[in-house]
Structure 1
Amino acid sequence: MSRFPPRERLFWWIVRTMSRLLLLCLMLLLIGPTGCRRSRVLGPPKAVPVATNGKLELRLMTFNVRYEHAGDVEARSWTRRVIGVVRMIREEKPDVIGAQEVLHGQAADLWASLPDYEFFGVGRDDGKRTGEYAGIFFRRDRFEADLADSGTLWLSDTPELAGSKTWGNGIPRVASWLRLVDRASQRG
């Protein structure tokens, strides 16, 4: 039995969840790892030197990839869109990318097309591969992932339960976080 009445319990649950979301946003701004991938063989990453002024500079990107849908044709089809997505990422060269609405196959396509990046994320429906990901790509030459300080939470009354949905959501909503350690400075 809970020590709080239902209304007060809801209030503290919301406070706790919002605190976690704030922490997630801060972590996405400062850090980033891997979960969905096709097999590929890569050599050891080369460290990128940190700025001489000691400041850790980051190039961040957020990208709503938009899930792949069988009904999408021509310019909206994933086979056409993936070319532009990969081109944009290669041109901008972000250190960390927050990717939304990414299905497992799309994450695998991007990961295979971007050999300088690693990927971290899970499907929202089962905590593995099913459903959209809120994934994180990061430059493997710049960062090492601290998988012990990473995870995904579901924006619901039961944030640790994969696929959970409440608050009127018809689908599960997720947020993933990951601690990245800068290879050159060892800051994370």
Structure 2
Amino acid sequence: MFSSPAWLGWSLAGLFTVLAVFSLIQVLAPAARSWAACCDGVTGDRESALAHSVMAVAMALMFVPWGNSVPAIAWNVVFVAMAAWFAATLFRAAPGLPRWRSAATHHLLGAVAMLAMVSAMGGAPAASGDHGGHSSASAGFLLPAVMAGLVVYFAADTALSGWRAVRGGPGGRGTGAARAVMGAGMAAMLVPML
């Protein structure tokens, strides 16, 4: 789905596969992470790590040639379900918690970014003669505007997560570094679609 030299595509697919495994270990191994809620109090550690794993698998598939064989409906179902889950998580959070700074907000934006990427890459079903689902003038303006906002968000999140990883802040160096790499990958994949 993503246009890049073969060696770069496979290298990035490998990197995101490693991130997926790292996140999956955090979901499955009790010693890898405490099962207490995230430091933001809104999102649980297991659901956050699972979301990172799903996103990393999806991004890895976008860098390999056979990633195109994943049906558009599968991409859409996964990311709409993820967006709905984290939107509900934000909705049911206790009053006074930092919703806008929570991991749930981050994962909601990640799911929206993945839906935008699938749509821009032609993963969404298009009417006959349309390319990549850009059939209306409003979609032609709205999608790049949403993507530009997401690029800014993920670039800022990459810098902040990288800084936290270097400092060894909450969540540990590995988790911060993994989030920084994921954010950089999201921003890099969104930029060519602006």
Query: Considering the TM-score relative to the shorter chain, is it more than 0.5?
Result: no
Using the size of structure 2 for normalisation, the TM-score is: 0.29
**Higher helix fraction (1 or 2):** 2
Higher relative contact order (CA 8 A, sep 6+): 1
Give the number of the structure whose alpha-carbon radius of gyration is greater.
Answer: 1
Return the TM-score normalized by structure 1. Answer: 0.30
Q: Which has the higher strand share?
A: 1
